[in-house]
Amino acid sequence: MKLGLSRAKSTDKFDYTLMGIIIVMMFTSLTAIYSAFGMLGTDAGMSYLMKQIMWYVFGYIVIGAMMYLGNDSLYSFAKIGYWILLALLALLLVDKVFYHFTLRDIPFFHTANGATSWYIFPGVGTFQPSEFIKIVLIIIVANIIDEHNKQKITESYEQDFNMIIEIAKWALPPMILILLQPDTGVVLIIVIAIGAMVMCSGIKREWIMIIFGCIAFVLALFFYMYFFHFDLLNKLIGGEGGYKLGRITSWLNPESDINGKGHQLYLSQMVIGSAGLMGHGMGQAYVTLPEAQTDLIFAVIGQTWGFIGTVFVVGLCLFLDLHICHIASLSKNMIEKYMITGFLGLLLYQQFQNIGMLIGLLPITGITLPLLSYGGSSMLSYMIVFGIIMNTSRKAKKLSDYVYE
């Protein structure tokens, strides 16, 4: 009997599951921001809520635009976007120098908490270029890896090394500019995402061992200097006023500086731990949480809905991650597989870091919880990601329509 391909019964290619998860996250985000009104210590709660609704509306438009354009021309757009965003990051460094000497920003630039990371547009909000360059870098790196594997005839250390150097040429300039803002959190996100892509690229196992060895060495050296040569380490990487190492100290011993650098961690653990099984209910704020609508949104959810609410959010994030993994497994396009690997690196690290830092597992880094925390740049950048994933899912479903008979 001769086997051949035939088209199975036509199915709708739109990924309703992924869109459903995004919609549930939207309502969770909006109700959490509404519940945070009393925790903010300001009258800006309604403004945050209305802007978050606006960002979600724009986000759905972005998903629609991405699905209309498709993934085929992403690389060309990514290279153009890279140079535009790199220029914007460089201009932020100019404003940082200006702010250092004058304690004032250049018009349309914005400095907050010591970091010059934003452009500000009155009546609209802020724009953070680093949120978008993460996505652009993942697209570029995916293409570099794919080209490397297509041209590779035999496995060799030299070819793998050349690929790593090519990736570094694109990744290091924006990472250095972001580090100078300073925004260590975004740099860590980029490193995690690109690292995940490189490890899944098919490079020789020895390179992976070298990468992990370097990470282990850097961590060991850091903690050795932290415990035995603190003053020297503080001079090298402490930042203004030693705030960077202060975050490590407040993480290891939050009660040592409750009114200072350990304030956020102490309050977040207190509100989550005191909420019990069901929480205190909507709008029942017992303490004021700084940045409750952004970095501490998980603490707001914990205080409002208790243990049940936090488990629901963790489960929702896990469901999203597993569904994206499933899409990657169905795709036959290697570039899209590499891109999704990078996107998963972004999501998983941000989810783990944000939740982990609020329950004391990790130091405070100012990283938001994707789709749940307030913020336009983060929201729109992830909607670009989900538009790309929607396209990948649609193509994968089309391929799965064909069966052997």
**Model pLDDT for residues 13-23, shown as the tens digit of each residue:** 889 999 999 99
Residues whose CB falls within 8 Å of the CB of residue 373, separated by 6 or more in sequence, listed in order: 29, 293, 294, 295, 297, 354
Give yes or no for a contact between 201 and 163, defined as CB atoms under 8 angstroms apart.
yes
Tens-place pLDDT, residues 294-332: 888 999 999 899 999 999 999 999 999 999 999 999 998
Helices (H), 37-156: 45-69, 74-102, 129-151
Q: Is residue 403 part of a domain?
A: no
d(CA 373, CA 271): 17
Full residue range of the structural domain in which residue 126 is found: 14-397
Per the domain annotation, does 237 fall within a domain?
Answer: yes
Q: How far apart are CA 117 and CA 119, in angstroms?
A: 7
Domains identified in the chain, total number: 1
Domain assignment present for residue 333? The answer is yes
In this structure, what DSSP letter does residue 316 have?
H
CB of 371 within 8 A of CB of 63? no
* 43 within 8 A of 291, measured Cβ to Cβ: no
Contact criterion met (CB below 8 Å) for 240 and 354: no
User: CB–CB of 135/385 below 8 Å?
Assistant: yes
Query: Residue 118 is inside which H or E element, if any?
Result: strand 115-121
What band does 9 get if pLDDT is binned at 50, 70 and 90?
Answer: very low
Question: What single string gives the DSSP state of each residue in 224-272?
Answer: HHHHH-HHHHHHHH--GGGHHHHHHHHHH-GGGGTTTTTHHHHHHHHHH
Residue 295: what are its φ and ψ, rounded to 5°?
-60, -35
More confident residue, 259 or 177: 177
For residue 176, give the 3-state DSSP assignment: helix
Q: Is 203 exposed, middle or buried (0-12, 13-18, 19+ CB in 10 A)?
A: buried
Q: Supply the Cα-derived Rg of the chain in whole angstroms.
A: 22
The answer as to whether 390 is a domain residue is yes
Lowest mean pLDDT among 36-50, 144-158, 181-195, 259-273: 36-50
7 lies in some domain: no
Note whether residue 5 is domain-resident: no
Instruction: Say if residue 403's pLDDT is above 60.
Output: no
Asked if 179 and 92 touch (Cβ cutoff 8 Å), the reply is no
